[in-house]
Amino acid sequence: MSFRNAPALIRDPIWGSIRLDATAVRITDAPAFQRLRYIRQLGLAHLVYPGATHTRFAHVLGVYHLVSTALRALREREPLPDHVWRGADLVPYAALLHDIGHYPFSHALDDLRGDDHPGDHEAVAAHFLKSPGVREALTGLGPGAAEEIGALIRGESTAPLRGLVHGSLDMDKMDYLRRDARSCGVPYGEVDVERLLQGLVMLEDPETGAFELGVGEKAVSALESLLFAKYQMFRNVYWHHGVRAATVLCARIVNDAVAAGLVGGRELAGPTDDELLHLIGRRAEARGGPVADRIRRRWLPALRARRLPKRAAELTAADLGDRSLPSWIEAPDPERRRREDQLAEALSLEPGEVAIDFPCKPAMFQLDLLVRRRNGRAERLGKTGIPGVIDLPRVARELYRTSRVLRVFTFRKRSLTPDEVIGLITETNRTDAWPDQRSVSSVARSSERKEPR
């Protein structure tokens, strides 16, 4: 394979000029990396926000740039023991490669599981790090470089500077929040990145004595900007009802294609966005059968034409109150699918045409990092915050709770009341009677009169 062996300068709409060293250029030239040009950063969000067509390729270049900038700032800030810089030369390349294992459609397929499913995109990265092009690009970094880069990506490295790639202060979120907001045309993703970079310090953990990435107390306000930017982006963009509807439809297509044997779970870790849909459509046409026909004739055309599932019900944190919800509601689970299909039958819909959506990302607002107090002492900011300085963890928990919305999507227009939905999802002790046909039959009849099949 022929590689370029000179640095390069790339113009970026978010950070201006991004300088890639020769190793970074060789990595970006690898076919496995070029694949990221064809995976949209926000999956199907462009069906709601037309400008959201930016790619994982642009994003990882931005993360590489921020990590390189942070490393320069840390080296110039204050003298540190030599061992603090152990593995520092690999950190920018881990930043560049941190999304190389991403599935098509961003996070739409993250929750799919099965015996042959290769895991989340960080686990899949190991496969691409072994690909010929990437392996050859990394040869100049010494033996074991690919393994250490993989550990940095998965958050399993012991390198002191690992937090730049995986942690509360990683540069990933600094880039995606600003890049996503700019591309979507919304004012929510602004983070005081410059102040955060200025406030980065290497601190000794008071319990273990090990060095790790932290922040000065004066930069705590920049952490607050990060927290609220994430809240606004999840509430208004990532978990927007239209984006979730498109995500539900895409996930249902892929999940049912895997269950029907049209594609194998491990085949999901290679195609681009368009390649995957084409592959499923081609195999559905060749295979035939009820599931394949439903995917080929109805669901794939609906996704391509933006005929998205409709909200039959939507429940906010205020509607849910302090109710304890069953565990099956938060993740793909046979129990959830069974109940969805029972509800589909009650609403005169076909199997797979009801989806319960309650996005779950408990680590979204979690903070775990060291803060250098004004007196020079390092103190950990964890679940309880730091009294008198920052109580973000408590605020974060409330923001997470209020940003989540429970929705029931139907592939044809139907409607359910909040009380009906609460009754359906909390009736965990009567699985044989779920859903109550009497509670939804009148709704189904009225919906059918409004929209004949």
Helix (H, G, I), strand (E, B) or coil at 211: strand
Contact 41, 58 (CB under 8 A): yes
Q: Band the pLDDT of 330: cuts 50, 70, 90.
A: confident
From 291, 308, 325, give the residue that closes a domain.
308
- Residue 356, φ and ψ in degrees, nearest 5: -95, 125
> Do 116 and 75 share a structural domain?
yes
> Do 258 and 121 share a structural domain?
yes
Average pLDDT over residues 119-137: 85
Average pLDDT over residues 84-92: 96
Of 154, 189, 223, 159, the C-alpha closest to 369 is: 223
In the predicted model, is pLDDT for residue 280 greater than 50?
yes
> Do 274 and 407 share a structural domain?
no
The reported pLDDT for the residue numbered 335 is 87
Can you give the pTM of this predicted structure? 0.90
In the predicted model, is pLDDT for residue 2 greater than 70?
no
Q: Is the pLDDT higher at 429 or at 375?
A: 375
What would the DSSP string read from start to end of 339-386? HHHHHHHHTT--TT-EEEE----TTTT---EEEE-TTS-EEEE-TT-B
How far is it, in rounded angstroms, from Cα 321 to Cα 406?
Answer: 12
pLDDT digits (tens, 9 = 90+) for 372-413: 999 999 999 877 767 666 666 677 778 888 889 999 999 999
First to last CA, the chain: 55
- Chain-wide mean pLDDT for the chain? 88
Write the CATH number for 47: 1.10.3210.10
Instruction: Give residue for tokens 């290497």.
Output: 202
Of 79, 35, 37, 67, the C-alpha closest to 54 is: 37
How far is it, in rounded angstroms, from Cα 125 to Cα 60?
Answer: 14
From 308, 340, 362, give the residue that closes a domain.
308
> Do 121 and 38 share a structural domain?
yes
In the predicted model, is pLDDT for residue 47 greater than 80?
yes
In the predicted model, is pLDDT for residue 448 greater than 70?
no
In the predicted model, is pLDDT for residue 429 greater than 80?
no
The reported pLDDT for the residue numbered 388 is 61
In the predicted model, is pLDDT for residue 449 greater than 70?
no
The reported pLDDT for the residue numbered 383 is 72
How far is it, in rounded angstroms, from Cα 353 to Cα 378?
Answer: 53
Q: Band the pLDDT of 431: cuts 50, 70, 90.
A: very low
User: In the Cβ-directed half-sphere of 334, how many Cα atoms lie within 13 Å?
Assistant: 2
> Do 401 and 292 share a structural domain?
no
Which CA distances in Å does 272 have to 43, 57, 137? 11, 12, 22
In this structure, of 24-38, 133-147, 257-271, the range with the lowest mean pLDDT score is 257-271
The reported pLDDT for the residue numbered 419 is 87
> Do 301 and 351 share a structural domain?
no
Contact 411, 302 (CB under 8 A): yes
Which CA distances in Å does 229 have to 190, 224, 291, 424? 6, 8, 41, 34
How far is it, in rounded angstroms, from Cα 223 to Cα 168?
Answer: 10
How far is it, in rounded angstroms, from Cα 74 to Cα 201?
Answer: 7
In the predicted model, is pLDDT for residue 310 greater than 60?
yes
> Do 280 and 358 share a structural domain?
no
Q: Is the pLDDT higher at 346 or at 224?
A: 346
Number of domains in the chain: 2
Residue 260, domain extent: 1-308
The reported pLDDT for the residue numbered 180 is 97
> Do 128 and 13 share a structural domain?
yes
How far is it, in rounded angstroms, from Cα 299 to Cα 402?
Answer: 31
Which CA distances in Å does 97 have to 60, 104, 106, 139? 7, 16, 15, 15
How far is it, in rounded angstroms, from Cα 70 to Cα 372?
Answer: 17
The reported pLDDT for the residue numbered 225 is 87
> Do 143 and 39 share a structural domain?
yes
Q: Band the pLDDT of 234: cuts 50, 70, 90.
A: very high
The reported pLDDT for the residue numbered 425 is 78
pLDDT digits (tens, 9 = 90+) for 170-190: 999 999 999 999 999 999 878
> Do 346 and 263 share a structural domain?
no
- Residue 326, φ and ψ in degrees, nearest 5: -65, 150
The reported pLDDT for the residue numbered 308 is 97
Helix (H, G, I), strand (E, B) or coil at 338: helix
Query: Burial, 314: exposed, middle or buried (Cβ in 10 Å; 0-12, 13-18, 19+)?
Result: middle
Tell how many helices (H) and how many strands (E) occur in the chain. Answer: 19, 9
How far is it, in rounded angstroms, from Cα 349 to Cα 352?
Answer: 8
> Do 39 and 78 share a structural domain?
yes
From 262, 290, 308, give the residue that closes a domain.
308
- Residue 63, φ and ψ in degrees, nearest 5: -65, -40
pLDDT digits (tens, 9 = 90+) for 50-71: 999 999 999 999 999 999 999 9
> Do 42 and 164 share a structural domain?
yes
Average pLDDT over residues 23-38: 96
Token reading at 193: 């990145």
CA angle in degrees (0–180, nearest 5) for 394-397-400: 150
Of 39, 38, 40, 47, the C-alpha closest to 243 is: 47
In the predicted model, is pLDDT for residue 122 greater than 70?
yes
